[in-house]
Structure 1
Amino acid sequence: MRAPLPKIFITCAITGNLTRPEQTPHLPITPEQIADSALGAAEAGAAVVHIHVRDPRTGSPSMELALYQDVLARIRAKNPDLIINVTTGPGGRFVPSADDPSVAAPGTTLMQPERRVEHIAALKPDICTLDLNTMNSGGEVVINTPANVRRMAKVIAEAGVKPEIELFDSGDIALLQDLLKDGTLRGPALTSFVMGVRYGFQPSPETVLYARGLLPPDATFTAIGIGRHSLPSVALSYLAGGHVRVGLEDAVYLSHGELAPSNAALVTKARRIVEDLGGQIANPQEARALIGL
């Protein structure tokens, strides 16, 4: 049994790709709101902020480089120590047409792998996510073939950015092992188990321990819970020897029936959970050492 780490870092996922503005009035939308929310999360104890951007006019997910540039510049101007983790997830979703499943229906975002990481090559954040999942996601399909993952990983490596490998089921960990063996990825791996997305890892202590046991011995992990599983997964991840993540990307409630007023409030609660269990929270400088940046 792996003991809890002496110090853990908190990641805060600020706005995400799927949380809708109608779910909560507190969701950051504009670059200024996203940056301010990230800085507030850092003040509450987050060492890492995970960034998506949105169209300021509609609130819809966006991949526009200028929006990423704006957010990162605002964060770095006020808190240069904060670790910035940028998504590469958008661009992998396929919605089959009802009449011809080989034809994409509205909602499909599939694009060339290199386009999904253009902003990483341009901005060179500290970390970026790299999803390994090909899976059903609700009524849609997310597609990340091994060949396309390798193409994205090449651009990430050339940019000198540390990938956080997002794992949605056990087969993703098998792919991770292959990518490490063939040199596509370098260890020690920074990973996360995403639990609670249909139809992948389901949240439970058994899931965390099972997934942890499949990782290389030197890998770092965070067990992430989606929706009502978000805050319980803070305790699960810490007790299993992992780090923790919360944020309005993952869940909009602070407690039953109470919307989280901010990302900072979610970080504050996650911090309290860890500290009440006897853990200590790493600052950004300490987190850099833990991650290997």
Structure 2
Amino acid sequence: MSPYLPITPSEIADSAVEAAEAGAAIIHLHARDPQSGRPVQDPDMFMQFLPRIKQATDAVINITTGGGLGMALDDRIAPALRAKPEVCSLNMGSMNFGAFELGAKFTEWKHDWEQPYLEGTKDLIYANTFAMLERIMIEVGQQHDVRFEFECYDFSHLETLKYFADKGLVKPPFLIQGIFGIQGGMGGRIENLVNFKMLADRIFGDDYKFSAFGVGRQQMHFVTVAAILGGAVRVGLEDSLYIGRGELAKSNAEQVRKIRTIVEALGLEIATPDEARAILGLKGGDRVDF
């Protein structure tokens, strides 16, 4: 849906480094088949770009454990087990993850898998059961000192995180990422963002770092409000292909520069990678396996 999406390992590495140079303290990464662009969780594919990014920047590396829709859990966690990064994403509950409307709205597809992939989400449950979450927390988190970006698509996901925190499977400080605008999750309304933060404050107090983003056209105003509320912000082509109304973003870095300009104009400061490590209690870039 955009010619600017980085697909090959080289493109992903270059885009990540550019985003870090623009001010991103943490880089969240997925991999794709370099010929078809299809999401893949092949550890060898990740290892084609992770060392390059680490050599070129001090940014914190955050690897997905979500992968792509319909992937088996063993495949989803394989890159994290191989690379042992400082941070991994962790989706905090099973849900309807509806991207099927895009399949109808867009007409010019580059690859034959893309439209069926999106339309198939009308009849797909994105599974993150309690057993699956526990396994990730133990095998990835506890065994390799990896911390998580807890991706919360629903208010109930905060309660699920509290359950695991009470069990001692994860420990503060928690990086809690509120995600808004996915069909099947919290809607893209600012009142949802405010209410989500209020609930997180009530449950976790000072034990967490708040972050949030909106999907699609909600992206920039959502992250701006998140920053005003004292939170961190996430931007990137995974969440929105645009930099403005009807204008495709040419890179992840372009979105980073835009939100950096906004938050600095508000009198706020962005964290360096080392400051982010201190805030989140990370193990450090010298203790990863790439």
For normalisation by structure 1, the TM-score amounts to 0.84
Per the TM alignment, residue 208 of structure 1 is displaced from its structure 2 partner at its CA by 1.7
Per the TM alignment, residue 205 of structure 1 is displaced from its structure 2 partner at its CA by 2.7
Q: Quick one: distance in 2 between partners of 1:275 and 1:133? A: 34
Is structure 2 residue 155 aligned with structure 1 residue 170? yes
Residue 37 of structure 1: aligned partner? 15
Residue 122 of structure 1: aligned partner? 82
Q: Quick one: distance in 2 between partners of 1:268 and 1:61? A: 26
Residue 230 of structure 1: aligned partner? 219
Residue 221 of structure 1: aligned partner? 210
Identity %: 40
The 8 Å contact of residues 31 and 71 in structure 1, kept in 2 or not, is answered as yes
Q: Indicate which of 24, 35, 44 corresponds to 2:2.
A: 24
Residue 146 of structure 1: aligned partner? 130
Residue 277 of structure 1: aligned partner? 266
Instruction: List 4+ stretches of structure 1 deviating above 6 A.
Output: none
Per the TM alignment, residue 114 of structure 1 is displaced from its structure 2 partner at its CA by 4.1
The 8 Å contact of residues 97 and 182 in structure 2, kept in 1 or not, is answered as yes
The one-letter code sitting in structure 1 at the alignment partner of 2:47 is: Q
The one-letter code sitting in structure 2 at the alignment partner of 1:173 is: L
For normalisation by structure 2, the TM-score amounts to 0.84
The 8 Å contact of residues 132 and 166 in structure 1, kept in 2 or not, is answered as yes
Per the TM alignment, residue 206 of structure 1 is displaced from its structure 2 partner at its CA by 1.7
Residue 244 of structure 2: aligned partner? 255
Residues 119-128 or 29-38, more deviating = 119-128
CA displacement, residues 169-199 of structure 1 (integer Å, 9 cap, x when unaligned)? 0111110010000011111211100100001
Total equivalences in the alignment: 253
Q: Quick one: distance in 1 between partners of 2:252 and 2:149? A: 21
| Higher RCO (CA < 8 A, seq sep 6+) | 1
| Paired residue secondary structure (1:274) | helix
The one-letter code sitting in structure 2 at the alignment partner of 1:131 is: N
| Paired residue secondary structure (1:281) | coil
Q: Quick one: distance in 2 between partners of 1:240 and 1:175? A: 23
Structure 2 residues not aligned, in runs of 5+: 99-121, 283-290
The one-letter code sitting in structure 1 at the alignment partner of 2:248 is: L
Q: Quick one: distance in 1 between partners of 2:170 and 2:135? A: 11
Per the TM alignment, residue 90 of structure 1 is displaced from its structure 2 partner at its CA by 2.3
Q: Quick one: distance in 2 between partners of 1:251 and 1:143? A: 23
Structure 1 residues not aligned, in runs of 5+: 1-22, 94-107
Q: Quick one: distance in 1 between partners of 2:192 and 2:267? A: 23
The one-letter code sitting in structure 2 at the alignment partner of 1:90 is: G
The one-letter code sitting in structure 1 at the alignment partner of 2:168 is: G
Q: Quick one: distance in 2 between partners of 1:200 and 1:211? A: 12
The one-letter code sitting in structure 2 at the alignment partner of 1:155 is: E
Q: Indicate which of 38, 54, 59 corresponds to 1:60.
A: 38
The 8 Å contact of residues 209 and 231 in structure 2, kept in 1 or not, is answered as yes
Q: Quick one: distance in 1 between partners of 2:187 and 2:230? A: 19
